[in-house]
Structure 1
Amino acid sequence: MPPTDRIRDHAGQGATTVAARRRRLRADRARQLADLLRRQILTGGFPTGTLPHEAALGTEYAASRNTVRQALDLLRAEGLVDRLPGVGTVVVARKYPHGLDRLMGLAETLHEHGDVTNEVRTVGPAPAPAPVAERLRLPAGADVLYIERLRRLNGLPLSLDLTYVPLDIGTCLLGADLEHTDVFRLLEAVTGQPLGHADITLEAVNADAHSAAVLQAPRGAAVLMLERLTHLADGRPVDLEFIRFRGDRITMGGQLRRSRP
């Protein structure tokens, strides 16, 4: 290849690289802006429900119009906002806060945001799978009370809860009002002692076909999976739950303190 052709080829690659870097930089800035706007949306930073005009957002955040549009597109893809002709960008969805630093039932946690109702899909004794028996400190093959509930907030599907309770306690829950009462309250009433602490794990998983159908979410959509093992005040484990939350309707938060080495 003649030297001049090599120079042109190298220059062309350089131009492509520069253009790619610019696109990547704009995408990075769009994500940063989307994070800031999302926080404002979730904390009521836009009380009218309408976001400022793109030009105003660009001025406030020192961002180009293309960056602002990309950020709004990201939020639109999440289902948080939408574009209405003649109105602008409006908030169309709301996420509800769920604390990770308090041991509370869902109705207790969200009582300020509306009514939590439970559709009891399954309830009854069942053999405990080996990992469940181990976590609840039960003999292998012991029976537990298994409860599956679809939980709604103001009529909208919010979570699918799969719960395992030792049968000596769970038998007392069979006649209880599981549709309108948190299991935590029932456990404290049945055992006569308060709950003590819970071990939790939180991760994002893809909704399987069953979960997606029950939660009325797209199949394969990301859901927040909360695994929680709750103990009584005396340390006995009494409630193992696998809770799938619709990620577009809930946020998890808490306060963390740094311990000294």
Structure 2
Amino acid sequence: MQVSEKTAAAEPTPIRGQRADRARRVADILRHQILAGAVVGTLPGEQELAAEHDTSRNTVREALGLLRDEGLIHRAPKVGTRVAARKYDHGLDALLGLQETLREHGTVRNEVRAATTITAPPAVARRLALAPGGKVVYIERLRLLADLPLSLDLTYLAPDIGVEVLTHNLETTDVFVLLEQVTGQSLGAADLALEAVAADPHTATTLDAPAGAPLLMLERLTHLGDGRPVDLEYIRMRGDRITMRGSLIRSTPEWKVL
């Protein structure tokens, strides 16, 4: 049977699924509005939200329950539903330290938990292009904004640069800024990976979060402008306080090239 190249347009597939699926869709839209600052203070009532999203009050109630479980909203009788927590945007478009990123929100304070020279683990030595068994500067910082823990940063620096970084104030200055001051070079590019992990008990205690809470785990290898790798970081960020955002540009698709 030969199939014609010209066929009638397929009938639209109706959106089906359980109430949990519909609630998830509503929660996604409301979450974005809250994080973008479009909803501040008290959210509209269930009836109004149901009309806005063309769904039932039960579906809205379930969606709000999802956001409550994430810690984004508080719900109370006779009070309504209020935005509970502020999340801060961390861009993926530019190579900036946390203090540079959040400058408009206040001063990021660093609680320095370790700052010393150690023997580089083999994997770290390879990433920083160091000889096996060589030394590396290790810095561990708990980073806070308005006394709210945001992230736990484990940083490995090339030794010749790192020892000079250690002579500077690590409590109030981004390592990125110090790297540029010490080397006299601008930072160039960074390779990064971002994934979700659950907070182990020790990290949870450090970040004042529940054990098993969702964290954003960022691995970042930063290079100087001349291409030399100098800074390898493993950063655990509280997923309920930081949102990673970026703008992506699509390259010329293959079908247009052919």
Q: TM-score, normalised by structure 2?
A: 0.90
- Name the residue aligned to 2:44: 52
CA distance in 1, matches of 2:200, 2:122: 22
Q: RMSD value over aligned CA atoms?
A: 1.0
- Name the residue aligned to 2:62: 70
**By how many angstroms is 1:85 displaced?**
2.7
Q: Equivalent pairs: percent with the same residue?
A: 64
Query: Among residues 233, 252, 255, which one is paired with 1:241 in the alignment?
Result: 233
SS of equivalent residue, structure 1 residue 149: strand
Higher helix content, 1 or 2: 1
CA distance in 2, matches of 1:221, 1:155: 19
- Name the residue aligned to 2:197: 205
- Name the residue aligned to 2:28: 35
Match runs of 1:66-215 below 5 Å: 66-215=58-207
Structure 1: gaps spanning 5 or more residues:
1-21
CA distance in 1, matches of 2:25, 2:60: 10
Q: Name segments (4+ residues, structure 1) moved above 4 Å.
A: none
Query: Among residues 214, 217, 222, which one is paired with 2:209 in the alignment?
Result: 217
CA distance in 1, matches of 2:166, 2:103: 25
Aligned residues: 238
1:122-158: per-residue Cα shift (whole Å, max 9, x none)?
0000010001000000000111000000000111000
CA distance in 2, matches of 1:41, 1:130: 43
Higher Cα radius of gyration: 1
Structure 2: gaps spanning 5 or more residues:
1-15
CA distance in 2, matches of 1:109, 1:174: 22
- Name the residue aligned to 2:3: none
CA distance in 2, matches of 1:114, 1:40: 23
**By how many angstroms is 1:164 displaced?**
0.2
